[in-house]
Amino acid sequence: MVWTTYKEKIKRLSHRLVEAQKPIRILDAIKWDPSVEQELKKGKFRQMPTFGAEDYARMDLGYDPVLKIQELQDLAQDIETSLGKDDALGGLLQKVTEQYVDVVHMVTHRGKKEFWEYSKKLYGSPKDRFFEDKNTISDLGQMMYSILTKIDQKTLGQDYPEDIAAEDVVKTLNERFSTYFKDENVRARLSDGILADAAAGGDVVKIREKSMFSSRDIDILEVHEGWVHVGTTQNGNQQHVAKWLSKGPPRCAATQEGLAVIMEIFTFRSYPRRAKQINDRILAIDKVEDGANILELIEFYRTEGYSEHDCLANAKRVFRGGLLEGGAPFTKDISYCRGFIENYNFMRAAIRAGKPHLLPFLFVGKVHVDDVPLLYQKYEEGLIDAPKYLPPQFKDLNGVAVWMSFSSFLNMVDLKRVQEHYDKLFKSYS
């Protein structure tokens, strides 16, 4: 038997993991047939559409799920055999591999209650708690709703009309990406096959044709889709050994989306209506877990002032793969707010512990925030390459360090008493 180094073993297993997950495309597997939307519109959003497990079963996954599960299970066993039960990096690789097994189980149960059970296991539920805290993700959503609905957008500053065509958005983003991704052919391009207004791939940001955008939307797309989603993929691709970091299993979704939201806020590009749109996804998923059907969810969005197009698009995000009659949503969209809290707490803890050097490694690839200390350790051992593409705030950490230092103390302040003090003051001068 030819002797191999630890680094060679990791690289070989990483390559196998990348190849094994290639045909697994979650969003493609759970997308709706156009007939669902047509039925909803034809019934004027008062009649339940028909689309369930039998319809999903006719949609080809592009691979044999039984064989794929066996392949992934064999890989997990080979990781343990090759690296040993107690190897930390081996444990991480096994965890990722086993998640893909759950992903295959989830998509094979499209249109059934079990789909939601796997979705909760992979992405979580609004009823989950933050660490050992008493507060749930749903609690966050309800608190944010109570605050954001009180804010009058007109009092905040200038208006940003959505008067920029998708073609012009693509042009502007490509100019900016050529500066940020100097050595890579990262591009924005038009697409008519995506649900959201924009979606990031490995080296491309897709912009939905016929959508209209504001200048502020372009700024957000630059940092959210470009700096974070494409940037972490490119940093993963740059890895000489740990190629699996270019691929994002569900366990990385919250860290990725939370990091994207953080960058919107750190660059002062976000705004309350945008935050409310993200937060409303928590409330929507919570409603559907509690039994709301698709018609009821569309009506919820309608009462919140969303357009017919946006009501339908938001409902699709929650019900794709699940049950239209309610009780079994796709829970991925809690990732944005959940990830913001988890990343922010990690940053505060790292600064407080005197370990700011860990923060750039949030961008080293598609990672879970809890992986960062291990990946930094492996960087020092020469197994992980440092992230090449970093936002300015994470190249120079001075500002973030000060922000997080003050933030650590703010948690100790009794906000209730502060609010009572200023409520009296506001009332006196209103």
Give residue 215's pLDDT.
96
142: CB partners within 8 A, 6+ apart:
283
Structure tokens at 137: 């993700």
Grade residue 239 by pLDDT with cuts at 50, 70 and 90: very high
Tell me the average pLDDT across 67-91.
Answer: 97
The angle formed by the CA atoms of residues 326, 198 and 162, to the nearest 5 degrees, is 105
Q: Rg for the chain (alpha carbons), in Å? A: 22
pTM of the shown model? 0.93
- pLDDT of 169 reads 97
pLDDT recorded at residue 196: 82
The per-residue pLDDT for range 228-237, each reduced to its tens digit, is 999 999 999 9
Report the mean per-residue pLDDT for the chain: 95
- Confidence check: pLDDT of 359 > 70: yes
Judged against a pLDDT cut of 80, whether residue 195 lies above it is answered with no
Please enumerate in sequence order all residues whose Cβ is within 8 A of that of 331, keeping only pairs 6 or more positions apart, or say none: 116, 119, 120, 123, 124, 125, 126, 285, 289
pLDDT digits (tens, 9 = 90+) for 241-255: 999 999 999 999 999
Higher pLDDT, 152 or 268: 268
Q: What percent of the chain has pLDDT over 90?
A: 87
The CA-atom distances, in angstroms, between 359 and each of 100, 220, 348 are: 27, 21, 10
For residue 202, count other CB atoms closer than 10 A to its CB: 13
Bridge partners (DSSP) of residue 222 are none
Q: 217 is written with which tokens?
A: 């939307």
- 206 strand-pairing partners: 189, 199
* Residue 300 confidence (pLDDT) above 70: yes
Q: How far apart are CA 376 and CA 303, in angstroms?
A: 47
Neighbours of 154 (CB within 10 A): 7
Q: What is the pLDDT of residues 371-385, one digit of tens each?
A: 999 999 999 999 999
pLDDT class of 1 with cuts at 50, 70, 90: low
Please give the full DSSP string across 265-296, using - where no structure is assigned: HHTT---HHHHHHHHHHHHHHHHHHTT--HHH
- Going from the C-alpha of 93 to that of each of 76, 235, 378, 381, 423, the distances in angstroms are 8, 18, 14, 17, 52
Residue with tokens 């994470």: 394
Least confident of 134-143, 259-268, 370-379, 420-429: 420-429
More confident residue, 276 or 430: 276
Cβ-based burial of 380 (10 A; exposed 0-12, middle 13-18, buried ≥19): exposed
